[in-house]
Chains A and B, each alone.
Chain A
């Protein structure tokens, strides 16, 4: 049961191998994985939109889509049809090439990241030994594409939104990369497969530095895909819809798909790095992966259902003045924990981290004017 998909693929390969030359077999094995990834990407995106609307609905005491299909299960199909049939407007002053290229180039990295995510025991499509760095490289290319979208549509709101979201993504990339360093310290390799194997007996989230690193990574991941409390760049009330203002129909669907795929890969990677990927006692490995990833996605939607949007300066302040120093101290604590080992290391790491957390929160106390006394006119 655990190796269900792997055996399926091998069976398919044997089938093909019967009447095809060997190079075609290896090519088809690549194509099968790529096909599975792309189908997974599209399938995930469709049903994440439904899940998000249902969860946020239930949090606000309403039901969420249940008209189309049994429990609204066909709602994504309806959305897809609506989006595909909507007229695709290209604004007159817009730059044809950029306006067309931006949605295409935003989906490419979103899909490429799936190659590195370990969906189950030896179910990683491409187990690079620089897996994690590959993830950061791919997620950093989206900044340029967002510029293209914002600049290509020659619209003040779009370019403003583009600049804002790029500034946000860059300032959240730094703490994100630094928060992963403790995991590399303890595992010693960048490949996601090895990281998951190293968490067989102890998930990293249970260690003090692991918990803090997980929180920092997850927060930065949420900010990286412009979601929930950090969605200032595409906030309807602020600048219309940020960099994808001028996109409609199929192009907007691509942006929408890329956003959800990024959200999925962030949740998947947080699960891989800190919650032990597909490690789990009874259930088959890939089921464990799905459970963990979807619980983290639930947390993302939970944020969206609760937290108000951050102001631009609060958002930047949080990244540079809170998350970055905390990530640096976290590396120190992780080093200490691994060097000392055992309860002494655990305790010292915990003390350092809690101390720095309290200190940083004291420093970052936003300016609250003291109580004002009103002198009433007599």
Chain B
């Protein structure tokens, strides 16, 4: 073919691309850059950033029972839990201190998988940069606690499954309690 044809075709492509970027829509070859701070791409549901603790209605009855499984399972060991105990010294099912060091956490989500009490889940909040490195990113209990409806807002499907499972466990437990109560009722009728 003629000497310069390949070059001209290549130039044609870039020129078409140059003008397309002005009037074409993103899908059909137009400009698809999302200018970050002003416009944002929606975060996918399964996106996982640093974990947070879920509480149902008020921060007091949070789901975490300080069983320490997540602290053991965490690969980089960035979770630190101290169990709370009441005034008499008996241990309670509540953590007194629950720290996660976000500079160490690698967002792997293992704590979410191993937690038997659906207490800890991965968050979608990633703009948490801070000036000083050491204590600013060491999140303790009050910072980690977030309500359940926030959990439903950011991960609707997972939250729905978790709630369904909890409800069903609730029913089963209530049924079991009811069954125990009926048996007890039946037993104490006989002995009197």
Interface residues of A (CB under 8 A from B): 55, 58-63, 66, 302-303, 305-307, 357-358, 360-361, 364
Contact = CB atoms under 8 A, between A and B. Distances in A.
B3 to A, nearest CB: 3
A60 B29 CA distance: 11
29 contacts: A55-B18, A58-B17, A58-B18, A58-B22, A58-B31, A59-B14, A59-B15, A59-B18, A61-B17, A61-B20, A61-B21, A61-B29, A61-B33, A62-B33, A63-B31, A63-B33, A302-B15, A303-B11, A305-B14, A305-B18, A306-B11, A306-B13, A307-B7, A307-B10, A357-B3, A358-B2, A361-B3, A361-B4, A364-B3
Sorted nearest first, the 3 A-B pairs with minimum C-beta distance are: A361-B3, A306-B14, A59-B14
Nearest to A361: B3
A143 B76 CA distance: 59
B31 A306 contact: no
A306 B10 contact: yes
A61 B31 contact: yes
Contacts of A62: 31, 33
Nearest to B17: A59
A355 to B, nearest CB: 13
Main secondary structure of the interface of A (DSSP, over half): helix
Contacts of A302: 11, 14-15, 18
Which residue, of B4, B13, B18, has the highest number of chain A Cβ atoms within 10 A?
B18
Contacts of B29: 61
A361 B2 contact: yes
A35 B61 CA distance: 77
Which residue, of B11, B14, B21, has the highest number of chain A Cβ atoms within 10 A?
B14
B28 to A, nearest CB: 12
A53 to B, nearest CB: 13
B37 to A, nearest CB: 10
Contacts of B17: 58-61
Contacts of B35: 63, 66
Contacts of A58: 17-18, 21-22, 31
A248 B29 CA distance: 39
Nearest to A304: B14
Nearest to A354: B2
A252 B29 CA distance: 37
A174 B58 CA distance: 84
Contact of B32 (A59, A61, A360): A61
B183 to A, nearest CB: 72
A26 B98 CA distance: 83
Contacts of A361: 2-4
Nearest to B30: A61
A18 to B, nearest CB: 51
A358 B5 CA distance: 12
Contacts of A60: 17
A192 B113 CA distance: 78
A66 B174 CA distance: 62
Contacts of A55: 18
A63 B7 CA distance: 25
Contacts of B32: 61
Which residue, of A63, A306, A358, has the highest number of chain B Cβ atoms within 10 A?
A306
A66 B33 CA distance: 12
A60 B11 CA distance: 12
A353 to B, nearest CB: 13
Contacts of A59: 14-15, 17-18, 21
A305 B22 CA distance: 17
Which residue, of A61, A305, A361, has the highest number of chain B Cβ atoms within 10 A?
A61
Contacts of B7: 307
A52 B2 CA distance: 30
Contacts of B3: 357, 360-361, 364
Nearest to B21: A58
Contacts of A357: 3
A58 B30 CA distance: 10
A165 B18 CA distance: 31
Given A55-B18, A63-B35, A361-B3, 19 more contacts: A58-B17, A58-B18, A58-B21, A58-B22, A59-B17, A59-B18, A61-B20, A61-B21, A61-B30, A61-B33, A63-B31, A66-B35, A303-B11, A306-B11, A307-B10, A307-B11, A357-B3, A360-B3, A361-B4
A363 to B, nearest CB: 10
Interface string B10-47: 11011101101110000001111101000000000000
